[in-house]
Amino acid sequence: MLWYKAWLETRARFLISLFGILFLCSYCVLHLEQEAVPGTLLSYYNYVLTEGYGMLVMMWVLAVTLLMMGGLLREHALGSASFTLGLPVSRRRLMMVRVGVGALEASAIAIIPTASMCVIASIWGKPFSLSQNLFHLVLLLAGGAFFFAIALLVSSVVRGEYTAPVVALGVLLLIAVTLGDQKMRLFSPLEFMLGGEYFNRSSSLLVGPIPWVRAGLWVCLAALLTWVAVRVVDRKEF
């Protein structure tokens, strides 16, 4: 029942985000693929997919930020938290179910548009590379886990249906601007998601082994922030 409740709370935001991103990314790749002429180099088709992935990253961060808004603080602001708190489950259990549903939805928003772009690229240009798609998805989901956790933490601290998403977007913008400097890009989750340091301009491909260690570090940091969010809600007075 808890999983179904969490799904109902996020269903509209999830479906709007999924189909919106699916359409935009697919259209971007299709439009650029149709501009190719006979004799177009393979690197152009790789570039097209790279552009699609870039759009996916930016839209995914925005979607996940909005997706993770809500929870007990929003219910408290709306005056409906008493029903949820009356259920025979702990707050920690409620939060972990919310995190689980959010993680599944966030993964779907990343994987489904990626699959769509690959199908379009295969029809109009060239067969997709499984290794390249895996590389992009690892960067997106590992670096994106940090933004997922930040959105969860903000929604666990800030009350208000509209205040929380505004604060969350402000925090994410501040992180992107502060860590967007050339010297700080190594510590930027957004730059990690875009994969700029692994991008080869001549082939328009991500090169080198997948950075599993750095990906793991971002996931660990996200897990820490998620634990903080759970603890905050667990101790909060409603």
Cβ within 8 Å of residue 215, ≥6 positions away: 138, 139, 142, 143
Is 76:159 a contact under the CB 8 Å cutoff? yes
Query: What's the pLDDT at 90?
Result: 78
The SS3 assignment for 199 reads strand
- pLDDT for 176 equals 72
Cβ(112)–Cβ(17) below 8 Å: no
Contact by Cβ (8 Å): 150, 50: no
Angle, vertex CA 237, rays to CA 235 and CA 238, nearest 5:
130
Q: Which domain holds residue 138?
A: 2-235
What's the CA gap between 78 and 18, in Å, rounded? 26
> What's the pLDDT score for residue 74?
64
The whole-model pTM stands at 0.88
pLDDT at 172: 74
CB 120 within 8 A of CB 30: yes
The runs of H, that is alpha helices, within the chain are: 2-34, 42-67, 72-78, 81-85, 91-124, 130-157, 163-178, 189-194, 212-235
In this predicted structure, what is the pLDDT of residue 114? Answer: 92
Per-residue confidence in pLDDT tens, the chain, 238 aa = 777 777 878 888 899 999 999 999 988 888 877 776 666 677 777 888 888 899 999 999 989 988 888 766 665 555 555 666 666 777 788 888 889 999 999 999 999 999 998 888 888 766 667 888 899 999 999 999 999 998 888 888 877 666 667 777 777 777 777 766 666 667 788 889 988 888 888 877 888 899 999 999 999 999 999 999 888 877 766 5
Check: CB of residue 33 under 8 Å from CB of residue 45.
yes
Q: Residue 184, Cβ neighbours under 10 Å: how many? A: 11
pLDDT at residue number 230: 87
Q: How far is CA 85 from the centre of its chain?
A: 29
Q: Strands 205-206 and 199-200, how do they pair?
A: antiparallel
The per-residue pLDDT for 93 is 84
| Look-up of token digits 């088709």 | 45
Quick one: pLDDT at residue 48?
82
Total residue count of the chain as it appears in this document: 238
| Total structural domains within the chain | 1
pLDDT at residue 187, rounded to an integer = 77
The answer to whether 193 and 218 are in contact (CB under 8 A) is: no
Scored b (16 or more CB within 10 A) or e, 30-63 reads bebbeeeeeeeeeebbbbbbbbbbbbbbbbbbbb
